[in-house]
């Protein structure tokens, strides 16, 4: 930690939900190296779909995996959010200047942002007042193609560094899987309204016992809307959605404020 403590470079915290050995994370390290000193705290194994889960009934252990001039890597036995919390509270010498999560192997567009451990790590940074970005690519394979991320992630981070983000806002950035010469550009979008349906498949094991396997299909409720992340990705754009951590429905406040509340006692 001494090299990083002594330097005046930006301190950048990296995490993910695919695990400390994931190709996406190590690609991200290479992308971010020119921008500052990096500390990685990531789950020791894949934690996809953990959302904002934290560990409350088991001890969490952290192991140093690598240390060189401007990169420190730790593995964590907990969730993505555990990793970020431990980094901020126990591992880092100071509050990081930026938090980057990813690169996720698979889309985090539309409602997937709710389930994503990758975006939960970014949101946890945002909750702590750290400008944060989550990067994902629409390729689930272990050897996913990160060419577009390599080409554009640095520019997105540079814009955040130079312009900052509104308080309580982080970025959810998703990349299509297309040749770079087919990319039409970057779209600033809203989250698509949609839901996963038929999510579990009933199966029978060799002992004739029933079990269920997570599967499902995404149903886009507004497939013709051209201002959404799903439309952008389907039409060869990088999709950037600003995500806010305030979940309050302000329209809901207006609607229920004048309800008649009477005691039943």
Q: State the CATH number of the domain containing residue 26.
A: 3.40.1210.10
- With H, G, I as helix, E, B as strand and everything else as coil, classify residue 93: coil
Average pLDDT over the chain reads 90
Interior angle at CA 30, CA 27 and CA 31, nearest 5: 90
**Which tokens hold the place of 94?**
């100071």
Whether residue 259 is contained in a domain is answered as: no
Whether residue 209 is contained in a domain is answered as: no
What is the pLDDT averaged over residues 195-221? 81
* Structural domain total, the chain: 1
Query: Where in the sequence is the domain holding 23, given as residue range(s)?
Result: 2-197+226-246
Per-residue pLDDT tens digits for 132-160: 999 999 988 888 899 999 999 999 999 99
Q: Count Cβ atoms below 10 Å from residue 38 Cβ, excluding itself.
A: 23
Whether residue 37 is contained in a domain is answered as: yes
Whether residue 111 is contained in a domain is answered as: yes
Residue with tokens 């930690």: 1
For residue 5, what pLDDT band results from cuts at 50, 70 and 90? low
Give the residue, 85 or 53, on which the prediction is more confident. Answer: 85
DSSP state of 228: B
Whether residue 72 is contained in a domain is answered as: yes
List Cβ neighbours of 9 (8 Å cut-off, separation of 6 or more). 36, 37, 70
Q: pTM of the prediction? A: 0.89
Backbone angles phi, psi at 45, to 5 degrees: -145, 170
Give yes or no for residue 3 having a pLDDT over 80. no
Whether residue 34 is contained in a domain is answered as: yes
Which residues of 179-234 form beta strands (DSSP E)? 185-188, 194-197, 200-204, 210-214, 217-220
For residue 168, what pLDDT band results from cuts at 50, 70 and 90? very high
Give the residue, 1 or 72, on which the prediction is more confident. Answer: 72
Give yes or no for residue 232 having a pLDDT over 80. yes
Whether residue 264 is contained in a domain is answered as: no
The burial of 127, by beta-carbon neighbours within 10 Å (0-12 exposed, 13-18 middle, 19 or more buried), is given as middle
Whether residue 102 is contained in a domain is answered as: yes
């Amino acid at each position: 930690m001494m090299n990083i403590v002594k330097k005046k470079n930006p301190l950048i915290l990296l995490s993910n939900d695919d695990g400390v050995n994931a190709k996406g994370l190590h690609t991200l390290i290479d992308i971010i190296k020119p921008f500052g000193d990096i500390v990685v705290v990531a789950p020791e194994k894949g934690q996809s779909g953990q959302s904002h889960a934290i560990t409350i009934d088991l001890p969490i252990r952290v192991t140093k995996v690598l240390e060189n001039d401007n990169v420190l890597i730790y593995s964590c036995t907990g969730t993505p959010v555990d990793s970020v919390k431990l980094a901020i509270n126990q591992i880092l010498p100071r509050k990081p200047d930026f938090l980057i999560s990813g690169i996720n192997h698979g889309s985090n567009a539309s409602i997937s942002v709710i389930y994503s451990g990758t975006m939960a790590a970014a949101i946890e940074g945002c909750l702590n007042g750290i400008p944060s970005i989550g990067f994902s690519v629409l390729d689930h394979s272990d050897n996913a193609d990160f060419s577009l991320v390599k080409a554009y992630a640095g520019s997105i981070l540079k814009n955040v560094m130079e312009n900052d983000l509104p308080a309580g806002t982080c970025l959810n950035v998703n990349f299509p899987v297309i040749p770079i010469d087919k990319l039409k550009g970057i779209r600033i979008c809203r989250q698509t309204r949609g839901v996963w349906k038929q999510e579990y498949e009933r199966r029978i094991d060799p002992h004739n016992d029933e079990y269920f396997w997570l599967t499902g299909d995404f149903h886009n409720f507004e497939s013709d809307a051209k201002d959404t992340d799903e439309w952008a990705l389907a039409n060869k754009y990088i999709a950037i959605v600003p995500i806010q951590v305030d979940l309050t429905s302000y329209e809901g406040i207006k609607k229920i404020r004048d309800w008649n509340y009477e005691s039943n006692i």
